[in-house]
Structure 1
Amino acid sequence: MDQVTGRLEKPRQGWAGLWNISFGFFGIQIGFALQNANMSRVFQSLGASLDDLPALWVAAPLTGLLVQPIIGFMSDRTWLGRFGRRRPYFVAGALLAALSLLLMPLAPVLLAAAALLWMLDASLNISMEPFRAFVGDQLRRDQHTAGYAVQTAFIGAGAVIGSIFPYLLEHWGVSNVASGGAIPDTVKWSFWAGGTALFLAVMWTVFTTREYSPDEMRSFGEAQSHDLGDTRAALAGRSMLVPFAWGAAGGLVIALVPELGLEKEVYLLGALLVAYGALSAFAIAAAKRGRSSGMLGSLVGDFSGMPPVMKQLALVQFFSWSALFIMWINTTPVVALNFFGASDPDSATYQEAGNWVGVLFAVYNGVAAIAALLVLPALAKRIGKAKTHALCLAAGALGYASFFLLRDPQHLLLAEIGVGIAWASILAMPYAILASALPQAKLGTYMGLFNIFIVVPQLLVATVMGSIMKAFFPGEPIWTMAFAAGVMALAALATLRVREA
């Protein structure tokens, strides 16, 4: 019991409890790592050009944009007795993601692979979003940093396995050659093994944890009311000029595409702005008439009325995830061309470079796992979560910048140390800060909405980066790392504005 408030407190979790709560993320991150390290390789093996990659990758952030806020809203309002609130979504997402990973290597054409990427990313998001809120549900506030650090360690460990598996399979004698548009056997077997591991890891968390019931949460002083009255009143007081401005901005973007000769993917960015303006207008109009627009109105209202610390972290997320997405899309072509001298995806040298990228990704994820447990909690306790995050992001910026200084592919391992430190903090610190500042009744909703600030920069990179590179640096993908270093440095500076609770 809390000696100040007199309320019951959640039991303090030991290492076994922290392990069980987050072990499912180990499997989810195996899926994400296989996707991040190999999808450009799969697309190019099936005939995609370097210029096509951003458009094909846009599936991943777009599905996250649509899925996570909806799943967060729904999981806040779910209670299926002994099955719980978040765990039903863990199971559904894991089943669909495992199926996607099993089918991906069998994709006969590029379009099928792109469709399966949509399904895979949507499924991973269905499981991942409730896991973020699950830590906040299960842990006391003074354990939030430790909880998200352990989750980050599992993310790093899962990503190491997913990233390095093709490299290991080649050394165990599995063919790594792709010819005639085929996907290498190393990638096929990695996806199949990854799908199995993902499902089993998520089931571990499902069967070893018990969620607190709504009555128990109320006894802890964490109300579970989902009254939409306040949200509707806030929406009713908003001006229609705001959604009109969003729609006008989207229309302007669409109009500028042919005028400036931008890539066709920019149309998607404009369409999303128009859609958000239209949905906001609908929700505001319904609220002004005293009617509820349900989930739509709640999401729009909560997004516009998010807590101040969430707004401060939004800018940090925008810059840091822009840098990460640039890295995920471009590392394979950068390493292949600038460090192995290969540009043909069918060549053995290119496939060798692809495997080395898997090793690099494994290293930064391994560094993240170690940093999450040994560095982040101690540093956050000493200087605070926000300053810890700023220092780690600065290390990531240095890691990206070093791609211009290094010449030997082996030396890129040094660059990945900085990237890994940043990655550890990106996965832990913003969520630890938020979980201690958000109302429990809307924890899933706000965690889902927070994903918007992860998705939007990825969409921006996917739609705009191709145009920038084609206009200024055609055939020189190494310059994408300069953009990554710059925006990661901006993320570090933006973190200094964050005022944690």
Structure 2
Amino acid sequence: MLTGNQAASSCARPQASFWQIWNMCCGFLGLQFGFALQNANVSRIFQTLGAPLEQVPLLWIAAPLTGLLVQPIVGYLSDRTWTRLGRRRPYFLAGALASSLALVLMPRSPGLWVAAGLLWILDGAINVSMEPFRAFVGDQLPAAQRPAGYAMQTFFIGVGAVVGSMLPWLLARAGVSNHAAAANGAAAVPDTVRYSFDLGAVVMLAAIGWTVIRTREYPPDMLRSFEDAAPVLPAPPPQRRQRFTGVAWGLAGLGGLILTRLA
């Protein structure tokens, strides 16, 4: 017969290895790569295609509106979805395909309003993937490992943001043309931006595809059966020590203030 602790542990999510957490969070690299390219270069694309500077903020209204509309809808739907691919992974894949297509097409837009429409598609598609990714860690990991999962997501977000933002500059340093003009003298998006968006599409598909292929989701009945054991919280320090520590820091601050005034 199982004891209470054994029964709780038998219903808990199994512990994941470092590489399992890596695989389930890798897709955030592609998502943030796309966001970084968008944030750093779309204004440049708009202005190259003839947008007056004062109209650029209006064209950017797509970003907050798509987040406001898409994220709650996709979050609601993904909580209630189950397919052969799983619960969250269909949204990862659909968002990645649409985002990658928008990344390739945007710097090749024939006109300003085409580029503006592609920004709506790009931002909406990234949000389709991103919202289920946030819930993915909670689905897959026990409570004790969720901080590690969110930390891994943050790592990939940071890498994607830095490399994606630097990519046009890196291509320019490698000798790719950074001039916003075509051979006939007409305005055109520079090669550095176009190739950066192409690479961004590849990175997005590769990173999210890696997560889709290398991670399996729990079926609904298993998810319902999971009951994470209550986390063990550290005992609070004695009240006297807390009061002493607060007084010590207060005296230290007062001493620093006095020394500053005397100096």
Tell me the TM-score normalised to structure 2 length: 0.81
Instruction: Find out whether 1:64 has 2:67 as its counterpart.
Output: yes
**2:121 counterpart of 1:115:** no
Identify the structure with the greater helix proportion: 1
Rounded Cα–Cα distance in structure 2 between residues aligned with 1:65 and 1:59:
10
Q: Structure 1 CA distance, aligned partners of 2:42 and 2:136?
A: 29
The answer (yes or no) to whether the contact 2:27–2:209 under 8 Å persists in 1 is yes
1:140 match: 142
Corresponding residue for residue 33 of structure 1: 36
Provide the TM-score with structure 1 as the length reference: 0.43
2:13–2:227 CA contact under 8 A, matched in 1: no
Kept in 1: contact 2:99–2:121 (CA 8 A): yes
- Letter of the 1:166 partner, please give it: P
Q: Which residue of 1 aligns with 2:231?
A: none
Q: Identity, % of aligned pairs? A: 57
Deviations, residues 272-327 of structure 1 (Å, cap 9, x unaligned): xxxxxxxxxxxxxxxxxxxxxxxxxxxxxxxxxxxxxxxxxxxxxxxxxxxxxxxx
Whose RCO is larger (CA < 8 A, sep 6+)?
Answer: 2
**Residue of structure 2 equivalent to 1:14:** 17
Distance 1:138 1:212 in 2: 7
Give me the whole-angstrom Cα distance separating, in 1, the residues matched to 2:226 and 2:79. 17
Matches of 2:91 and 2:4, distance apart in 1: 32
Which residue in 2 is equivalent to 1:127? 129
Report the Cα offset of residue 5 of structure 1. Answer: 6.6
Q: What amino acid sits opposite 1:187 in the alignment? A: V
Alpha-carbon shift at residue 143 of structure 1 (Å):
1.4
- Where structure 2 has 5 or more consecutive residues not aligned to the other structure, the ranges are 229-233, 235-263
Q: What is the aligned partner in structure 1 of residue 151 from structure 2?
A: 149
Mapped partners of 2:105, 2:38: distance in 1: 13
What SS is found at the alignment partner of 2:36? helix
Which residue of 172, 175, 181 corresponds with 2:174? 172
CA distance in 2, matches of 1:220, 1:2: 15
Q: Residue deviations 1:247-292, cap 9 Å, x none?
A: xxxxxxxxxxxxxxxxxxxxxxxxxxxxxxxxxxxxxxxxxxxxxx
Q: Which residue of 2 aligns with 1:195?
A: 201
What residue number does 1:463 align with?
Answer: none
1:4 CA drift (Å): 7.9
1:46 equivalent to 2:49? Answer: yes
Contact between 1:99 and 1:195, CA under 8 Å: does it hold in 2? Answer: yes
Q: CA RMSD in A?
A: 1.7
1:277 corresponds in structure 2 to none
Cα offsets for 1:38-81 (capped at 9, x unmatched):
11111112222221121010011111211111111111011114
Counterparts of 1:299-314 in structure 2, within 5 Å, are none
The alignment partner of 1:6 has SS state of: helix
Aligned residue type for 2:169: Y
Alignment partner, residue 209 of structure 1: 215
Larger Rg: 2
- Contact preservation (8 Å) 1:96, 1:120: yes
CA, structure 1 residues 2+100, in 2 after alignment: closer, same or farther (shift >3 Å)? farther
Q: CA deviation at 1:6?
A: 2.5
